Chains A and B, each alone.
Chain A
Amino acid sequence: MTSRQTALLIAVAAIGLTLAQDVRPGLDLYHTWQYAAAMTIAIILIVAYAWGARSGSDGRAGQWIALGLAGALTVAVGGLLSGLIGPDTITVNGSPGSVTPVPDLAAAAFFSPADPQTIARGDATVSLRRKGADAIAVPAGGRVFLGTSVVYLTSRPAAYIVAHDARGNRLTVTQPTNPTFLSPVLLFPQSQPLKDKSYPLDTFATPGIHRIARALFFSADDAQTFNHLGSRQPALVLSVDDDNGKSVGLSIVPSGRDVAVGDLHVAATLGTFPQLVVASAPHPAALIIGLLVFIGGVGGSFVGPRRSTSLRVPAAGL
């Protein structure tokens, strides 16, 4: 393999490793020493080739390649710095209608209120607000670049609980063990291992009738093991105790159905609620510019020398 081919191959690899940070942000890989070492080696080799080639040591084509490698270098340095000094990946949690400060972005995350339909559809939104600036909506499935960070949403299991007593009176739902005390939306911050799998776990209370419930979240696939449900719905496995810790009952609550567990009637709408993820990533504008320069340089290496075929010099030994 020639040195030019080697340099190009390394440049393509470095660009790929950097683009990965924007395409699949938040991976631990970008903050490992192995990633940093690979990028540093790539940068050294790119510089070594481009330094010689720019002065014509590899011909006209090599000079074009050196220009292209300058673009690749921009991309690779961006990728290295983002991995080395960019912030660690942060997951920001908030309950519906709440505000969570995000000091790393000097902003606050506003989690939209959620009704049962919003939870079922999983389309609750999050917006970021910075002092003196317009709110930035973070779309589901989309990404927002803020400086050297990329912000995006992931989904977590959620359940909207509506509780009634045996006479049909609606009950207040509280979450004594969670930061949001007065919320009927469970966000399952804990997990419970069962056999070889871990299931999301949360707790809520209905102080009006002195009941405390532990809820295990089973996805639609997991809930298939409960054959009698008959439909492909996520479900809660609900274990209800009284104030003294005495068991009142245990039941499966499929999403959207009203189920009695002792004297507690529970209807749960299951779905997802967003959580905000902040990860370091090079700004795509810098990557695009670098990539265009790289493509231009490589393209020029083919076009440029062909044009010069008309340039002929007298052969030695006339």
Chain B
Amino acid sequence: MRCVPIRTRERRANPGLLAGAIIIGILLTGCYSGGGPKRTIDGGSGGPGSLAGAPAVSYDVKRLDGQTDALSRYRGSVVVMNLWATWCPPCREEMPALQQLYRENKAKGVVVLGVDQGESAEAAGSFAREHGVTFPILLDADQQYGRSYAAVGLPTTVIVGRNGHVMRGIDGQLSLAQMREAVGPALRAQ
């Protein structure tokens, strides 16, 4: 008995199949116009109103008296955070109303925080004295609060509830009546 190994015949590549595949491939995909142009999403334009419901971010900054302070240290209080600068005329006009709001509601657990944007302690201090401001003034030298709270101008007012979440963000100058109205829901909330 004689044994031989199994051998198979090597098949040559079929040029017809190759050509057919190329034609089908091109026909199937030729109508495909390709992806659209690369897209870009630019953030930061939502304004302070877009932050309602979000956790209130906080940064450690210097206070006018040189102590370190931060928004997060007022957790449990209703915080009216006002972003301002000395060069901003509406900020100057708004300041007496903020001081009045602070005086009226301090005993109810409302804290007004003035957060100066990027200026020196001397400028902010002399401004605060001139306007008889007694609420805490934070010096946000790196404008971190301004960036994070999507300020599109000054002044910007952010109402933070007792739970540490933003309840409302408002762009522009407010009257005392508008401030009272803005703080009301935060005071009523548990």
Contact = CB atoms under 8 A, between A and B. Distances in A.
Interface stretch (B99-107, B118-126, B180-188): B118-126
A315 B3 CA distance: 5
B11 A102 contact: no
B127 to A, nearest CB: 12
Contacts of A48: 17, 21
Interface in A80-121: 83-84, 88-102, 109, 111, 113, 115
B189 interface: no
Contacts of B6: 59-60, 308, 311, 313
Contact of B147 (A97, A170, A171): A97
B21 A314 contact: no
Interface residues of A, number: 70
A262 to B, nearest CB: 17
Given A88-B39, A172-B117, A208-B87, A36 B44 contact: no
Given A37-B29, A183-B147, A309 B39 contact: no
Given A3-B14, A40-B24, A312-B4, A92 B41 contact: yes
Contacts, number: 194
A183 B143 contact: yes
B142 interface: yes
Interface residues of B, number: 64
Interface string B44-81: 11000000001001010000000000000000000000
15 contacts: A2-B12, A31-B34, A33-B30, A44-B25, A88-B38, A91-B38, A98-B147, A109-B43, A173-B118, A173-B143, A181-B146, A207-B85, A312-B3, A314-B2, A315-B2
